[in-house]
Amino acid sequence: MHLTRDEEDILAGESGAVKQKAMEILVALGDIYNAERLIPIESAQIAGVSYKTIGEAGLEYLTDLSGKVVVPTMLNPMGMDRYKWRQMGIDETFVERQLAIIRRYELLGIDAQCTCTPYYVNAPRAGAHLSWAESSAVSYANSVLGARTNREGGPSALAAALVGKTPDYGYHRDENRVPDISVRIDFPLAGSDFGALGYVVGKMVKSQVPQFSFVAPPNADELKALGAAMAASGSVALFFTSERAMPREILEVDRSDVDIYSSSEPDVVVLGCPHCSRSELAGIARLLEGRTVARPLWICTSRFVADRSSSVISRIEASGASVICDTCMIVSPAFEKRRMMVNSGKALEYGPSLCNSHTFIGTTANCITAACTA
């Protein structure tokens, strides 16, 4: 890979050992993927934040780092709500270790908004190069916003944030941003159906780039649910819904394929994977109007969105449900080993393996009804 003079200097250690290590990671990645150069990025988003997932080894790794990120950088969800951890049943040792992780990231100059929807806080412009790690955010940035990012690991996103650059390969390049397979959906879908569809299609297309044709165009929340589920059940990082030449390979999906909803009885109902938008919170508030929950109902969102939705959150919490920020049902220990009902194809995929929970999916309306039924 060709490096500029400044990049060579960083690699030689002239900006310190931490940046040198970061540059080594980027150069190694670039060499593996035959990138010819590094390109500047406009933001970074880092996964590997919950103490549940990175543990002591992750905390130690962060403790050894110094310096500052050089582009706006945010974090993925951590293992608890910063303020409601007691209500979530998180123990004090976990809290102390989790906050130590967040402090380490903050010392690096990172904005400790812990969310998988960083685009609600600061939406990248179309064409911007990014280094984002959260798979659902990568999908949304590439497919809905027209920005460009590969699906980074935690260390490579952090390295890119410290250097301000990433190797020019994969979805940064035009030649890779083309559909591989057509997916025809000739029946109507709404809301959570898109999460169910993504769960099914991700398993079928794996890492291909699908191009969908729908009966009616999905809204942004529906595209978010679709992309998040495909990123989890497959490893789709880019999809298209716009009309363009359809690839020859065609995947037909029937209504019955997408009907994966369950009527099992949950211990707990958790919504907000990915973190709820303001419109999703408003929809949940409408569904809860005049009702009282009979079993725990948790709704995950970002602190940024919550701070701008206080009246809607009051309406939701009047039912006995709880809105939590900074965390989610998958990266928090609070939801382990439960019978968990979700409205998300991504949570459906990860619940069994990462929470050891019996996880099943319903529409948002069915989830609310289950939570309000004794």
Q: In whole angstroms, how close is the CB of 300 to ligand F3S at the nearest point?
A: 6
Quote the strand ranges of the chain, DSSP E. Answer: 38-40, 43-46, 73-75, 111-114, 130-132, 165-167, 181-184, 210-213, 250-252, 268-276, 297-301, 322-325, 339-342, 358-361
**274 is an interface residue for ligand F3S by CB under 6 A:** yes
Q: Is 77 in the site for ligand F3S (CB under 6 A)?
A: yes
Span interacting with ligand F3S, options 60-68, 104-112, 267-275, 363-371, rule CB under 6 A: 267-275
**For residue 227, which of 300, 129, 137 has the smallest C-alpha distance?**
137
Q: Which stretch binds ligand F3S (CB under 6 A): 84-92, 167-175, 273-281, 314-322?
A: 273-281
Least distance to ligand F3S, CB of residue 246, Å: 29
**Is residue 300 part of the contact set for ligand F3S (CB under 6 A)?**
yes
Angle between helices 220-233 and 345-354 (to 10 degrees): 30
**How distant, in Å, are the alpha carbons of 36, 140, 264, 277, 358 from that of 170?**
12, 16, 41, 29, 35
CA-CA-CA-CA torsion sign (124, 129, 134, 139): positive
Question: Going by C-beta distance under 8 Å and a sequence separation of 6 or more, which residues neighbour residue 143?
Answer: 223, 227, 238, 239, 240, 241
228 near ligand F3S (CB under 6 A): yes
CB closer to ligand F3S, 179 vs 272: 272
d(CA 45, CA 158): 8
Contact stretch for ligand F3S (CB under 6 A) within 81-89, 268-276, 280-288, 318-326:
268-276
**Which residues ranging from 10 to 49 are in contact with ligand F3S (CB under 6 A)?**
none
Instruction: Choose one: 88-96, 271-279, 288-296, 311-319; the region binding ligand F3S (CB under 6 A).
Output: 271-279
**Footprint of ligand F3S on residues 307-346 (CB under 6 A)?**
328, 330-331, 346
Residues that bind ligand F3S (CB under 6 A): 76-77, 116, 136, 228, 273-275, 300, 328, 330-331, 346-347, 350
